[in-house]
Amino acid sequence: MPETPKKNEFAEQAEEVTVEADPRNTSSESFPVIGLGGSAGSFLSFEKFFSKMPTDSGMSFVVIMHLDPNYRSHLDEVFQRFTGMPVSEAVDGVVIEPNKVYLIPRNKDMGIHNRRLLLMPASKNKGVRQPIDFFLQSLADDQWGKGAGVIFSGMGSDGETGIRMLKEKLGVTLVQDPMTAEYDSMPRAAIGTGLVDFVLAPEEMPNTLIRYMNHPALALDSDQERFAMQTGNAVQKVLMLLRSYTGNDFAQYKMSTITRRIDRRIAYYQLKDYDSYVDLLNENPQEIKTLFNELLIGVTKFFRDEEAFDRLKLKVYNLLKNKSADDPIRVWIAGCSTGEEAYSIAMIIMECQDQEPNHIQRKIQIYATDLDQDALEYARAGVYHSNIAAYVSPERLKRFFTKRGNEYIVNKHMREMIVFAQQNIIKDAPFIRLDLVCCRNMLIYFTAELQKRIIPLFYYALNPGGLLLMGPAETIGGFTDMFLSVDHKWKLFERIKGNVQVTRLADFPFNVAPVPLPENKIDKKAPMLNPVKSANDFFNQVLIEHLAPAAILVDRKGTILFTNGKTDELLSFPSGQATMNIHKMIREELRYPIDYCISQTLADEKNVAVRDVKLKGEKSNQLINLRAVRVEQEGMQDSVLLIFEKLMAPVKRGARIKAATADESSRVSELERELLFTRQRLNNTIEQMESSMEELKSTNEELQSTNEELQSTNEESLTTKEEMQSLNEELMTINVQYQSKAEELTRLNNDMKNLLDVTEIGTIFLDNNLIILRYTPQVKKLFNLISTDVGRPIMHVVDNFEQSLKEDDIREVIEKLTIKEIDMSTYDKEWYRVRIMPYRTSDNFISGAVITFTLITDFKLMQSQLNTLKEYADAMAEQFTQAMCRLDRSLSVTYANRAFFNFFEVLRTDVLGKPLPAFLRQRWQTDAATDTLNKCISTGMPQEAAILIPGRDKEIIIRSRLFDAELKSDISLMLFTIDDETISQP
pLDDT tens per residue, range 360-396: 888 899 999 988 888 888 899 999 988 888 889 999 9
Worst-scoring range by mean pLDDT, 162-171, 324-333, 602-611?
602-611
Residue 193 banded pLDDT, cuts 50, 70, 90: confident
Mean pLDDT over 799-824 rounds to: 88
Between 978 and 687, where is the model more confident?
978
Backbone angles phi, psi at 589, to 5 degrees: -65, -25
Mean pLDDT over 840-844 rounds to: 79
Query: Can you name the residues that pair with 871 across neighbouring β-strands?
Result: none
Render 157-181 in DSSP notation, one character per residue: -TTHHHHHHHHHTT-EEEEE-GGG-
39 is catalytic: yes
Give the model confidence (pLDDT) of 491-511 as tens digits: 899 998 866 544 444 455 544
Instruction: Say which of 42, 45, 57, 66 is annotated catalytic.
Output: 66
Worst-scoring range by mean pLDDT, 155-164, 423-432, 720-729, 954-963?
720-729
> Which residue blocks in 357-447 are alpha helix, DSSP H?
373-381, 394-400, 412-416
User: Which residues have CB under 8 Å from 509's CB, separation 6+?
Assistant: 426, 427, 428, 429, 430, 457, 704
> How crowded is residue 563: how many other Cβ atoms within 10 Å of its Cβ?
18
Rounded Cα gap, residues 191 and 200, in angstroms: 11
Worst-scoring range by mean pLDDT, 83-87, 186-190, 301-305?
301-305
153 is catalytic: no
Radius of gyration of the chain (CA): 52
Helix (H, G, I), strand (E, B) or coil at 77: helix
Q: Residue 561: is its pLDDT beyond 90?
A: no
Instruction: Say which of 133, 141, 142, 158 is annotated catalytic.
Output: 158
Per-residue HEC secondary structure of 449-507 comes to: HHHHHHHHHHHHHEEEEEEEEECCCCCCCCCCCCEEEEECCCCEEEECCCCCCHHHCCC
Torsion angle (degrees, nearest 10) of CA 396, 397, 402, 408: 130
Query: CB-side exposure of 187: number of CA atoms within 13 Å?
Result: 23
* pTM, 2 dp: 0.52
DSSP code of 594?
H
Rounded Cα gap, residues 365 and 328, in angstroms: 7
**Per-residue model confidence (pLDDT) at position 349:** 93
Mean pLDDT over 812-823 rounds to: 89
Render 886-946 in DSSP notation, one character per residue: EE-TT-BEEEE-HHHHHHHT--GGGTTTSBHHHHHHHHHS-SHHHHHHHHHHHH-S-EEEE
**Per-residue model confidence (pLDDT) at position 341:** 92
Give the model confidence (pLDDT) of 144-179 as tens digits: 888 999 999 988 888 988 998 898 888 999 999 999
Backbone angles phi, psi at 41, to 5 degrees: 75, 15
888 is catalytic: no
**Per-residue model confidence (pLDDT) at position 536:** 61
Mean pLDDT over 269-281 rounds to: 87
Helix (H, G, I), strand (E, B) or coil at 765: strand
Mean of per-residue pLDDT scores for the chain: 80
